């Protein structure tokens, strides 16, 4: 047995399996980056349930050219600097893994312009191969396009489910992020059709109304619980007064510090 160290490209492609399982994982990572960038509008455009194209546009802080060139490298993040930062993470991302992973299993193009810059920059990464930065006119913020996901890992592409199932996973991700961030305007368009359009609202209840519909939202009861001894832990949420409307855990939405978790309840 001869042991050898994998090339960076192979290592990234294998590591990408942890981050990119299906188009919805890409949408989640890109939208989380937009939220971390302080965006107030996040628009997602899909073609063929995300297998042909995923485009996420935000009006967040954008990236300066040097940052953009670094953003697609592994372990490159602006969200952690000291080991102690791991104990007080306030962003959704922190690993510096998402963009390099996505770029290693798809064709990725990032266009970004920070506030105050007169022109934006475009960066392409195709299956892990990074091209040079080019100047590109764009509004401030960031647009990321992902084409042909898994074009170089056909076995993974084969395991994708039907287009309708992949789209429903994407809608679920968008809905969960939208519920946790009511002050952000989210829009999802698929093959030219608007699937969701949640304008920014100030009240959680209004976002519940947008995402779950009027009938479900009007039957929800708010609860708040605080640990009075330490004051550090608070639990709040909404309970449905019409439990028969939810025969399974599909409408169980759980968030810890605005990060959503999928909870599976054994039947």
Ligand X SMILES: Nc1ncnc2c1ncn2[C@@H]1O[C@H](COP(=O)(O)OP(=O)(O)OP(=O)(O)O)[C@@H](O)[C@H]1O
User: Which residues lie below 8 Å from residue 152, measured CB to CB, with a gap of 6+?
Assistant: 13, 105, 127
Binding mask 214-243 for ligand X (x = CB under 6 A): ------------------------------
Confirm or reject binding of residue 33 to Mg ion (CB under 5 A). Answer: yes
Confirm or reject binding of residue 63 to ligand X (CB under 6 A). Answer: yes
- How big is the CA angle at 12 (ends 8 and 13), to the nearest 5 degrees? 120
Confirm or reject binding of residue 98 to Mg ion (CB under 5 A). Answer: yes
Confirm or reject binding of residue 152 to ligand X (CB under 6 A). Answer: no
Given the complex with ligand X, which of 58 and 145 has the nearer CB atom?
58
Among 50, 60, 120, 182, binds ligand X (CB under 6 A): 60
Owner of token pair 């009938």: 215
Binding mask 92-111 for ligand X (x = CB under 6 A): -xxxxxxx------------
Confirm or reject binding of residue 123 to ligand X (CB under 6 A). Answer: no
Confirm or reject binding of residue 93 to Mg ion (CB under 5 A). Answer: yes
Query: How far is Cα of residue 256 from the mean position of the Cα atoms in its chain?
Result: 16
The residue with its CB nearest to Mg ion is 93
Given the complex with Mg ion, which of 93 and 182 has the nearer CB atom?
93
Given the complex with Mg ion, which of 102 and 208 has the nearer CB atom?
102
4-33 residues in contact with ligand X (CB under 6 A) are 29, 33
Where do contacts with ligand X occur on this chain (CB under 6 A)?
Answer: 29, 33-34, 37, 58, 60-63, 71, 76-79, 93-99, 142
Where do contacts with Mg ion occur on this chain (CB under 5 A)?
Answer: 33, 93, 98
């Amino acid at each position: 047995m001869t042991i050898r160290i994998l090339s960076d490209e192979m290592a990234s492609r294998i590591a990408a399996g942890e981050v990119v399982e299906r188009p919805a994982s890409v949408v989640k990572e890109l939208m989380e980056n937009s939220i971390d960038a302080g965006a107030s509008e996040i628009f997602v455009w899909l073609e063929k349930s995300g297998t042909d194209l995923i485009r996420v546009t935000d009006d967040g802080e954008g990236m300066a050219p040097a940052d953009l060139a670094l953003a697609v490298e592994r372990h490159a993040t602006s969200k952690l600097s000291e080991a102690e930062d791991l104990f007080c993470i306030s962003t959704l991302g922190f690993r510096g893994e998402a963009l390099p992973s996505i770029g290693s299993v798809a064709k990725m193009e990032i266009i970004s312009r920070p506030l105050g810059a007169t022109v934006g920059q475009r960066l392409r990464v195709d299956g892990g191969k990074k091209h040079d930065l080019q100047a590109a006119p764009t509004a401030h913020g960031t647009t990321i396009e992902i084409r042909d996901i898994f074009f170089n890992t056909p076995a993974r592409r084969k395991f994708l489910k039907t287009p309708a199932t992949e789209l429903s996973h994407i809608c679920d991700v968008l809905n969960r992020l939208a519920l946790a961030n009511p002050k952000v305007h989210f829009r999802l368009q698929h093959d030219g059709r608007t699937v969701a359009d949640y304008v920014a609202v100030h009240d959680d209840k209004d976002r519940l109304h947008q995402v779950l519909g009027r009938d479900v939202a009007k039957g929800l009861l708010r609860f708040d619980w605080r640990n009075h001894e330490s004051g550090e832990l608070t639990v709040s949420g909404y309970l449905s007064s019409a439990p028969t409307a939810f025969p399974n855990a599909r409408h169980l939405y759980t968030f810890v510090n605005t990060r959503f978790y999928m909870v599976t309840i054994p039947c």
